[in-house]
Amino acid sequence: MSRNQKKSGPTRSIGYDRLKIEDASQGTAENALVPKRERAFLIGICKPGEDLSAAQDHLDELAMLAETAGADIVDRELVKLRQIDPALYLGKGKTAEIASYVAEFNADLVVIDEDPAPAQTRNLERELKTRVVDRSGLILDIFARRAQTREAKTQVELAQLKYMLPRLSGAWTHLERQRGGIGMRGPGETQIETDRRLIRTRIRKLEEELSDIERQHRTQRAKRQEVFRFSLAGYTNVGKSTLMNVLTSAGVYEENLLFATLDSTTRMLPIGQGIRAVLSDTVGFIRKLPPGLVASFRSTLDEIREADCIVHVVDIASVTYLEQMETVQKILTEMGLSEVPVIEVFNKMDALDDPSVLRWVKEHKPEAVLVSAKSGEGLESLRERMRMIMEAGKLTLEVELDAANGKLWQELYKLGEVLATETIGDKVTLQVRLSRVDAGRLGLVDRAKPDPWRRGGND
């Protein structure tokens, strides 16, 4: 089969091999980015029982990921896999066929939408005579390109190193050249063992740095305890940052890019007079997120983890919105957040041209809020829903007061709704309904304790 060959361009290196490890004794490592574009051949996989059109959508997403990583896509192939070849992942015949395309297109790399075992990837590289980047390697590469702050850079580097460890092979001898490690190697130690040791040392250092960062965040969050915390969550590129900007004027970077946002931003959320709430924007999710990435992004994801309510943003104009929703729900469940209240927000309704989707939403998701962050449509309904969630989070408490404690008395009347009072001697018992946040602020409930509201019991 002859395929259209696209024009060759200058190349840049995609994948884990651009992570440069320097002398671990000095504890420095950096991403050596070469701003060149590479020619990528994409392989999508359709496993037995998998829907072919879903596999096509996944391949489209892989193309977006590869482009985001700076690749020029020379061609793509959807492989219907009957079984996984233990040596090559793909069957022998299919591998040979792809090898011929790779040669024909002069591709610099092959991107596969799966994570074969490290040995399978090495065998594939040998057969295809080019570098093979798997899905996790590609996503990590994008994260590395996007990371701006020290926190994001540290988290990405940690995830990359954990990804690299089982993948070290003879190809990694370049680490030695970069390290110049006289005295670094023990007698009889092989190069790979030395590289592993360097990486482990670096991993420990990064983990310590991240613990420090997490501690700082905890202190900052403690200062904001008296506010109600909404956190945006959702698949990448659904419009979380755009929504953040229209709701809070935060000025967060929004772009038609996968993983435009890697850091968290928190701003006051003006949704009504006297209402104290904040909204956080953070990193987006994607299907088959590299496992190390979620773990490494702990400090960033803490914003979602500590939210009083998660605002799950969905791109209703995407053909895969249902699958995207499931992916997000699965990740939230894995993060132990399945019981946190969620507002489902279907964004980009201005771009929706399939009326059947709207019908589906009305029928199956009557609680969801339809909005367009771009046109502003539906935003007032969203603010209203947020106010309702805050209201639903209120507690009814019995507070016993000394008649002399005028300050608390005043606060309770100001912040809450006093339902009943009973006076016995010089003690007054108030039955008062107020937000959990205010109750915590007044020291009436311990925020650290499990919250009855989260378990479904309201009052």
Ligand X SMILES: Nc1nc2c(ncn2[C@@H]2O[C@H](COP(=O)(O)OP(=O)(O)OP(=O)(O)O)[C@@H](O)[C@H]2O)c(=O)[nH]1
Binding site for ligand X (CB under 6 A): 234, 236-242, 254-261, 284, 347-348, 350-351, 372-374
List, in order, residues 6 or more apart from 198 with CB less than 8 Å away. Answer: 21, 24, 175, 179, 181, 184
Minimal distance in Å, beta carbon 236 to ligand X? Answer: 4
Bridge partners (DSSP) of residue 399 are: 430
With CB under 5 A as the contact rule, the residue among 260, 269, 412, 439 that binds Mg ion is: 260
| Cα(371)–Cα(379) distance, integer angstroms | 6
Do 89 and 112 meet the contact criterion of CB atoms below 8 Å apart?
Answer: yes
Whole-angstrom Cα distance, residue 418 to residue 416?
Answer: 6
Residue ranges of the alpha helices (H) in 165-285? 174-179, 191-223, 240-248
Binding partner at 238 among ligand X, Mg ion, none, C-beta below 5 to 8 Å by kind: ligand X
Rounded distance between C-alpha atoms, residue 185 and residue 171, angstroms: 18
- CB 337 to Mg ion: min, Å: 19
Report what 310 binds from ligand X, Mg ion, none; CB cut-off 5-8 Å by kind: none
C-alpha–C-alpha distance, residues 245 and 252, integer Å = 6
Between 55 and 269, CB nearer to ligand X: 269
Q: Based on CB atoms, which residue is closest to ligand X, 238 or 369? A: 238
Which CB sits closer to ligand X, 72 or 254? 254
Please state the closest distance from residue 358 (CB atom) to ligand X, in A: 15
Structural contact between residues 99 and 148, judged by C-beta atoms closer than 8 angstroms: no
Count interface residues toward Mg ion (CB under 5 A): 4
CB of 74 to ligand X, least distance (A): 25
Q: Which does 259 bind (CB under 5 to 8 A by kind): Mg ion, ligand X, none?
A: ligand X
Minimum CB distance to Mg ion smaller for 253 or for 360:
253
Residue 261 binds to Mg ion (criterion: CB under 5 A) = yes
- Residue (284 or 292) nearer to Mg ion, CB: 284
Site for Mg ion in 197-256 (CB under 5 A): 240-241
Which residue lies nearer to Mg ion by CB, 229 or 240?
240
Check binding of 280 to Mg ion (CB under 5 A): no
Pick the closest to residue 284 from 135, 139, 452 (CA basis): 139
Q: What are phi and psi of 263, to 5 degrees?
A: -105, 165
Asked if residue 241 lies in contact with residue 253, where contact means CB atoms within 8 angstroms, the answer is yes
Residues that bind Mg ion (CB under 5 A): 240-241, 260-261
